[in-house]
Amino acid sequence: MITLTPEQRQTIENAIRTVPDFPKPGIQFKDITTLLGNPEAFRLLMDHLAERYAEYGLDYVAGIDARGFIFGSVLADRLGVGFVPVRKSGKLPYTTVAEKYSLEYGFDEVEVHIDAFGENGKQHDGTPSRVLLIDDLLATGGTASAASTLIDRLGAECVEACFLMELDFLNGREKLGVPVYSVII
């Protein structure tokens, strides 16, 4: 199942509710809570991702606040690797490193613990920790780009960025300096 069949992709897509005009008029919000509440579709998605990433030699899955936590922690458990939360600024209790990114009107910031991927981002044998970045949606790419930059700044290697959905007309993947995989485009 490294590649989903059209029927499998449709099962996942049909499990995601579209909410018109949320949070403001003109936005078609993709609500994943219905996917999470659908055991067949959620299991299909997680089986697919676990199979896809089984041979990547990952050390960590880094999930972006907050929906990336859901997919990332389940996937990390299935792969037998660590999970690292990429949080919004001010949410982590230990020493952090942060990366700012621009929004339509202003800036925001994400951060991780300074030792999230091992000492200097390395494994015990001195090789860089291999990290998969995951979130639910790739839109403009600002948050994911900042998170990927954090992984690299800490000395680890972001091997790929994975998203459940991608709004490809926003060209978010162009901001990322890593391969991108989106289940639904």
Residues marked as catalytic: 67, 104
Identify which of 158, 129, 147, 160 has the alpha carbon closest to the alpha carbon of residue 53.
160
Provide DSSP, 70-104: HHHHHHHHHHT-EEEEEEETT--SS-EEEEEEEET
Q: Three-class SS of residue 175?
A: helix
Identify which of 118, 3, 130, 163 has the alpha carbon closest to the alpha carbon of residue 57.
130
